[in-house]
Amino acid sequence: MQVPSPFAYERASSVEHALQLLDSLGPEARLLAGGHSLLPMMKLRLANPEHLIDIDGLADELGYIREQDGEVRIGAMTRHRALLESELLASRLGIFADAERVIADPVVRNRGTIGGALCQADPAEDLSAVCAAVGARVVIRGPGGERVVDMHEFHRGPYETAVQDGEMVTEIRVPLVADSGSAYEKVERRVGDWAVAAAGASVRLEGGAIAAAGIALTAVGAGVTAPEAEAALVGNAPSDELFEQAARIAADGANPVGDQRGTAAYKRHAAAELTRRALRRATARALREEA
């Protein structure tokens, strides 16, 4: 199927306008950001919205990456390309550039947005794991005002998030933490492909030990983070043996499905190895040993 079902089209001129349109058009309306997930779904008739509300015109209002109140604040319409090229993210949160380098291709990165990626919640989508690993929070606006939820509450499973009818994501907030580092590792079949498996990690060091850690896996049927693996790290000095132990716990907690990208056993093995590598690189960055 190459042609979507018929739909009506509206262009929002501001966040308020988008919320008004969502309210007046009802639950059969969908926001259109970069369109790189929604339009293919519509062409395959997996999504059949009656109304599209194009929010591309909100790229100025919601397209920013800035430091504020000890956080990096990222507008929901920020494109993958801007995330890849941000000096602020590269210097403080290396995990974003790691992931963006291996998300799709320049055509998709020029249009696709962080808000669209998180709201699509595709199990093989990379930014949910990135945001979860660094303890990001998501700002959701609706008719009743604004609420801020962490990634555990936001990401409810494949294609399911905390965003309700009439609501939209406006911002992602990532805490800036001293003595910390983060990294993302991904295996793909070919350049620009979705992940076979991927892992994001962050660590905060204090007095030579790991004081806090975040681990999140992509495309292997795992929860939004791996709390038992994170707990295994805390209070211990970083070492390859420790990383291997935590990586094994994280991979054991995953539930990969065999498909054309690999067998379940291969994906679990890859998840463990990628977690180990992400932890090692995140720690090197926390120690300023690696950019």
Footprint on this chain of ligand FAD (rule: CB under 6 A): 30-38, 40, 76, 103-104, 108, 112-113, 115-117, 119-120, 125-127, 163, 168-169, 194
Select 44 or 237, whichever has its Cβ closest to ligand FAD.
Answer: 44
Determine the Cα angle at 135 with ends 132 and 139, to 5°: 90
Quick one: three-class SS letters along 59-108?
Answer: CCCCCCEEEECCEEEEECCCEHHHHHHCHHHHHHCHHHHHHHHCCCCHHH
**CA nearest neighbour of 170 among 97, 63, 12, 28:** 63
Closer to ligand FAD by CB, 103 or 249: give it. Answer: 103
CB of 38 to ligand FAD, least distance (A): 4
Token pair 């055509």 is found at 107
Nearest approach, Cβ of 30 to ligand FAD (angstroms)? 4
- Identify which of residues 119 and 282 has a Cβ nearer to ligand FAD in the complex: 119
What phi, psi does 275 have (nearest 5°)? Answer: -65, -45
For the bound state, the minimum distance from the C-beta of residue 120 to ligand FAD, rounded and expressed in Å, comes to 4
Instruction: Tell me whether strands 65-68 and 51-54 are parallel, antiparallel or unpaired.
Output: unpaired
Token pair for residue 239? 């070492």
| 161 vs 180, beta carbon nearer ligand FAD | 161
What DSSP string describes 2-42?
-SPPP-EEEE-SSHHHHHHHHHHH-TTEEEESS-TTHHHHH
Burial 217-255 (b: 16+ CB within 10 A, else e): bbbbbbebbbbebbebbeeeebeeebbbbbbbbbbebbe
Nearer to ligand FAD, 172 or 286 (CB): 172
Q: In the complex, what is the shortest distance from the CB of residue 207 to ligand FAD, in angstroms, rounded to a whole number?
A: 36
Q: How far is the CB of 261 from ligand FAD (least distance, A)?
A: 12
Nearer to ligand FAD, 61 or 125 (CB): 125
Determine contact, residues 147/140, Cβ cutoff 8 Å: yes
Closest CA to 128 of 192, 195, 66, 193: 195
- Pick 98 or 126: Cβ nearer ligand FAD: 126
Q: Shortest distance, CB of residue 243 to ligand FAD, whole angstroms?
A: 25
The secondary element (H helix, E strand) that includes residue 160 is strand 160-161
Query: Minimum distance between the CB of residue 188 and ligand FAD, rounded to whole angstroms?
Result: 7
Least separation, in Å, of the C-beta of 232 and ligand FAD?
27
245 neighbors 210 (Cβ within 8 angstroms): no
**Which CB sits closer to ligand FAD, 224 or 246?**
224
